Chain A
Amino acid sequence: MAAIIKIRGKLKDGTAKMKALMPHPMETGTRRDPDGNIIPAHYIETVRCLKNDMEIMSAQWGPSVSKNPYFAFRVKNAVVGDRITITWQDNKGEASAGELILK
């Protein structure tokens, strides 16, 4: 199971500032191991963000997003109790998710 997404959120005046950290190798597919073999590409391709199960934004990434990606965005019309979910899927079909209730 891939590592969980760590999410932080700060709610102020109806806007939620969200920050997420996603532990992931984000291998480009061009690096070589010490024996000279190419390390296969392994990176997050799709990220989805939901508020109370409704998709509010998404991201498509290539392998040039840094290792252990950081991702921040701001949600409109946010209130206490809103549930923010972030999920990712990588090029090997692995997936992970994280969730936060705004307070």
Chain B
Amino acid sequence: MNGAIPGAQRLRAASAGNRVLGVLIVLLIALTLGMDQLEPLFRALFPDLGNPLYSRDSFLNLMLAHIGLVLMSSLISVTVGVAAGLFVTRPVGREFEPMVSSLAAIGQTFPPAAVLAIAVPLAGFGFAPTIIALSLYGLLPVIQNTIAGLGTVPQATLEAARGNGMNRWQILRRVELPLAMRVIIAGIRVSVIINIGTATIGSTVGAKSLGTPLIAGLVGNNLAYVIQGALLVGLLAIVTDLLFERLERRFSFGR
């Protein structure tokens, strides 16, 4: 009976969380597809602006381009980050751990705009320099959390895994990764959320994203454009964050 009450509370909290998430997803899709319908509202809010609705591209196109940028760069961050984290926690790579950690930390200290500025002469304008900047920028949380997550696996658990006759690969796949997964996903979550925000800057070097109306609004002194871009980026970030929260919970194993 003791456990029943917190359990019920958790269920109620979870179902309330589901409703919030559902509402936000519907809002995100509705705004992406039907921003045009809000033209009268923006016209009323900004009567001085001749054109209060961004119309050089559809918001659906901008949203898909933005998600594409984030997916691509996060894929690189996660692949490289998890691989590096795994490497430096194995016996062969242990001595590289301080170096990899500090390299990733240095990557994080560069402002993304500076990385973009360096990347443009190397990779030209558009998609490629943005991907490079975002990938570098999203690397640190993934590496850090991969190392930290693998470090939380208790020594006794590892000794038992070895003592019961698992080989290194089996220990990694059956014991270490599942137990570290929650912390690793938390790192990926931070990395992706950072990149959703930072991807907007890619528009300054010509990569299409939700930052395009934002930058256009800032340059052209059009606050309505800024609000439209920022609203969608903000919603996308919140929805993604809530989805990651649910994913993390799957790896809590009842703790």
B partners with A? no
